[in-house]
Amino acid sequence: KNEVEQSPQNLTAQEGEFITINCSYSVGISALHWLQQHPGGGIVSLFMLSSGKKKHGRLIATINIQEKHSSLHITASHPRDSAVYICAVRSQGNNRLAFGKGNQVVVIP
């Protein structure tokens, strides 16, 4: 079993819809990262969380340390949000990241 599991693997939404994607992990962590990768593009860091909730523009990331679960919400989705969203965790006592396989999000105009 992978340390990091993301769901759903693929998601298609209409422009304007509220989107939620999820990340579950099996180890104790010191931090969780949400990354964004556009088709054929590089990887951009969106959030780093160790507790609670963070918001940046239309993106909101939450984490529940007890349940080992994080969600990334996209409000008022737009076609430019179409990308792969990657969850990565930094295990306690380790300076390396373990990555999920990503959530492919497509927003249709």
Partner 1 sequence: NAGVTQTPKFQVLKTGQSMTLQCAQDMNHNSMYWYRQDPGMGLRLIYYSASEGTTDKGEVPNGYNVSRLNKREFSLRLESAAPSQTSVYFCASSLNRVNYGYTFGSGTRLTVV
> Residue numbers of the site for partner 1 (CB under 8 A)?
2, 4, 30-31, 33, 35, 41-45, 48, 50, 86, 88, 90, 95-102
Residues in the chain: 109
Residue 13 bridge partners (DSSP) = 107
State in angstroms the smallest separation of the CB of 22 from partner 1: 15
Q: For residues 33 and 96, is the Cβ–Cβ distance under 8 A?
A: no
Phi and psi angles of residue 100, each rounded to the nearest 5 degrees, phi first: -80, 175
Q: Please identify, using beta-carbon distances, which residue of 24 and 100 lies nearer to partner 1.
A: 100
State in angstroms the smallest separation of the CB of 51 from partner 1: 10
